[in-house]
Amino acid sequence: MGTAILGVMGRTLSGTRPWGQGDLTGGLVDQVFAQVRQSVPGLIIERLTVTRASDDDNVYFLGVGASPDRVQLDTGPGGQPPFLVEADHRVVTSEVAEAVAAVSAGLGSGNVGSGDDLP
């Protein structure tokens, strides 16, 4: 039996790996991450790791500082839409801007800017 992975809203994550600025899927989720990184200093992104090639690894956990798993973002294969953003609410969208807004809201601000402090 596999290890439980999903950890949105403060649960401990295991089975993930850091997803840095140089890591790219080639899909539209790369644009989502780039835009959120610009407005959220200290953003942490981790990608689900799987043991079988047939398992879905298009799951990302985003957070800041001591809360690295505040938002879960699922994508289609290769980082393509639709995007499923889960935090306090669930949003399904195929639009980059809407995914960015939902992730930002889940991280603590619906309109995160360079001068905003996240909780």
53 vs 112: CA distance, rounded Å: 36
Confidence of residue 55 (pLDDT cuts 50, 70, 90): low
State yes or no: pLDDT of 43 exceeds 90. yes
pTM for the full predicted model: 0.76
Give CA–CA dist 103/91, Å, rounded: 9
Question: Exposed e or buried b for every residue in 5-17, given b needs 16+ CB within 10 A?
Answer: eebbeeeebebbe
53 pLDDT more than 70: no
| pLDDT of amino acid 14 | 61
Is 63 a residue whose pLDDT tops 70? yes
CA distance 104 to 116: 11
Residues 6+ apart with CB under 8 A from 53: none
What is the percent of the chain where pLDDT is above 70?
73
Q: What is the largest CA-CA distance in the chain?
A: 45
